[in-house]
A and B are shown apart, each in its own frame.
Chain A
Amino acid sequence: MKLPISDPMTPEPYIVKQFIRETHDTFSLDLFPKNISDSIAFQPGQFTMLYAFGVGEVPISISGPAPMQSGLIQTIRKVGKVTEALDQLKNGDTVGLRGPFGSAWPISAMKKRDIVVMAGGIGLAPLRPALYALFDQRDNFGEIALLYGARSPKDLIFTNEFKTWQEKFGIQVKVTVDTADSDWRGNVGVVTTSIPRVDFDPKNTVAMICGPEIMMKYSVAELKQLGVKEDRIHITMERNMKCAIGFCGHCQFGPAFICKDGPIFQYNQVKHFFGIREI
């Protein structure tokens, strides 16, 4: 089902059913459409444009449905005036929403393969629905490894779900942070250091990576060195976005419009431009 969009530039009202505090600067909104009774359809990896009344609009990845949260979940980090306004929302408030937009993780093309999921910071948000899609048909995939890196322990999101993911769905989870004080019993180091710590067969592996460009660059390099094929590595790109439908021109990255050709790309499709300064 596609959400009925009368005009692709006009938001639909959504109700905040639940405001979920994730970390000191990150929160999730559990949203329901105000006017539409249908269920919300989206592909893992897609995003929406969220509108805060009078302030503006921002692209936000869809991070669920997830257990205990039944609507459309959007996980947001407070980094600017729109996200700060969204942070002020309370249960029952209204937001404007357009979408979902953009490309999705190609889950159905991953059958029978080992899956390496690499997330940096809030990059875990658009990967969570991908993980749940993998869990839905767990037997269709080989090893699944989640390698998750963040700045510090207090920046980690969705940590209360990791145990279930490991125990119920048999996936390997390696969490690492860039820096921690001595209270932290987990791993310290960049996310790529977790790659050799999990089991997967590089020759038969599909990778999904979402995080800052530099983190993705190093991750791709490591995976390639191990023998993961370029066309099986999927990355997400971020650029300024105003319209989300290919009209405003802001999100161009080489020949791609990140809003409609991305945000998820097969690495070999964008590698010519990936890492070029100010592209």
Chain B
Amino acid sequence: MIIDREGLDQLISVLIGMGFQVVGPTVRDEAIVYENLNSINDLPEGWADEQEGGTYRLKRRSDKALFGYVVGPHSWKKFLHPPERRLFRANLKGGDFEIIPEKLEEPKFAFLGVRSCELHAIAIQDKVFLGGEHVDSTYKIRRENAFFIAVQCGQSAATCFCTSMNTGPRTESGFDLALTEILDNEHHHFIVEVGSDQGNAVMEKILHRQATGEDVMEAKKLTEEVAAKMKRTLDTTNIKELLYENLEHPQWNDIADRCMSCANCTMVCPTCFCSTVEDVTDITGDHAERWQKWDSCFTMDFTHIHGGEVRASTKSRYRQWLTHKLASWQDQFDSSGCVGCGRCITWCPVAIDLTEEIPKIRDSENQITHPGNEARHEIP
């Protein structure tokens, strides 16, 4: 199917009419972030994002592309796994207290402009919050209610490496609708792939025309070109074993000399899921609440046990983050924790780049001997 700009606008209003809160890209504070959308006028028309290690800059495009950027500091996790939520309230009643469970909100989100790497990131968080013995009910309801409109990438950023992680740039599944933006010959339109019955039902309500085989080919060609041009790579061969065997590699010290432990990488990462809880009471002391908030393995008290912090050094915290992301995640959730979106590279204030750090460990691996340390080489 094919829709033009008016069709896209109509898509937003139809979804709003169906009770969806449509969220997607918009320009705020010199960045493209995900917020509420009312029409296509809220989209970042004619904006591109220039990215490098430690650098993010919006730049004017010569056209009126609505999805002519890559990814910004936000990811969809802020809607599915909210940065903070109340877990319960408790009221003192004499010497006794009662716990008041939280009523489950049931927001219905329509996500417009989801990239392939981001769909993979959501699939990864699904395993965390839905795949185990316990289920995160807030995540579950938001996830089940959500309507996904993917956008196939028409360009990559210099920080992208999704081809190495097998997460893009073309998305094949996990969406209700997927758009490919075509800007050729002043005729701005979107080739639409339908990925679900609900997607089909929505499309019925929108002015569209059928796509030709040629259109579909054109859409495919576009992402193939993006893939071909992607420069950054990460060799993931045996990466779990590589990291497990190099927990004491000197490169961790080198990174620690640069890392500021600022937690930016964890905040922008679309798969990072850690949280903490905070207990608050009002001034009378009779009413208490418990809140869950995003947390980061880079914070000092993250590993506090009585007597001190387990990971007191920056070295150990960075090692934990990267080893979790690329290695132990595989043991825990049967997939990598990295989707190659490059956010951690862009938003690192000192431009630490995992695609540069991993090769340094890999290249030196053969030169390093571990005298008397053979026992360590048994990987679980």
Contacts and interface: CB of A to CB of B under 8 A. Distances in A.
Interface residues of A, number: 47
Nearest to B104: A7
A81 to B, nearest CB: 10
A80 interface: yes
Interface in A202-261: 238-240, 242-243, 245-250, 252, 254-255, 257, 260
Interface stretch (B115-123, B219-227, B268-276): B268-276
Contacts of B305: 238-240
B99 A11 contact: yes
Contacts of B105: none
A271 B379 CA distance: 9
Given A248-B274, A260-B133, A277-B316, A54 B90 contact: yes
B104 to A, nearest CB: 8
Contacts of B324: 252
Contact of A248 (B276, B313, B379): B276
Nearest to A241: B305
B187 interface: no
A147 B333 CA distance: 38
A10 to B, nearest CB: 5
B128 interface: yes
Contacts of B380: 254-255, 268-272
A85 B80 CA distance: 35
Nearest to A268: B380
A9 B292 contact: yes
Contacts of B295: 242, 248-250
B96 A93 contact: yes
Contacts of A238: 305
B302 interface: yes
Nearest to B275: A248
Nearest to A248: B275
B302 A250 contact: yes
Contact of B274 (A55, A96, A250, A273): A250
B235 interface: no
Interface in B73-99: 87-88, 90, 92, 95-99
A249 B97 contact: no
Nearest to A278: B316
B98 A54 contact: no
Given A6-B101, A260-B132, A247 B275 contact: yes
Contacts of A255: 327-328, 331-332, 380
A6 B244 CA distance: 38
Most chain A C-beta atoms within 10 Å of own C-beta, residue among B99, B273, B275? B99
Contacts of B304: 240
B312 interface: yes
B132 A246 contact: yes
B98 A247 contact: no
A247 B311 contact: no
B320 A252 contact: yes
A56 interface: yes
A186 interface: no
15 contacts: A12-B99, A57-B277, A90-B95, A239-B305, A242-B277, A245-B132, A248-B277, A249-B275, A252-B320, A254-B244, A254-B328, A270-B380, A272-B380, A278-B316, A279-B320
Interface of B: 87-88, 90, 92, 95-99, 101-102, 128-129, 132-134, 136-137, 244, 247-248, 273-277, 279-281, 285, 288, 290, 292, 295, 297, 301-307, 310-313, 315-316, 320, 324, 327-328, 331-332, 375-376, 378-380
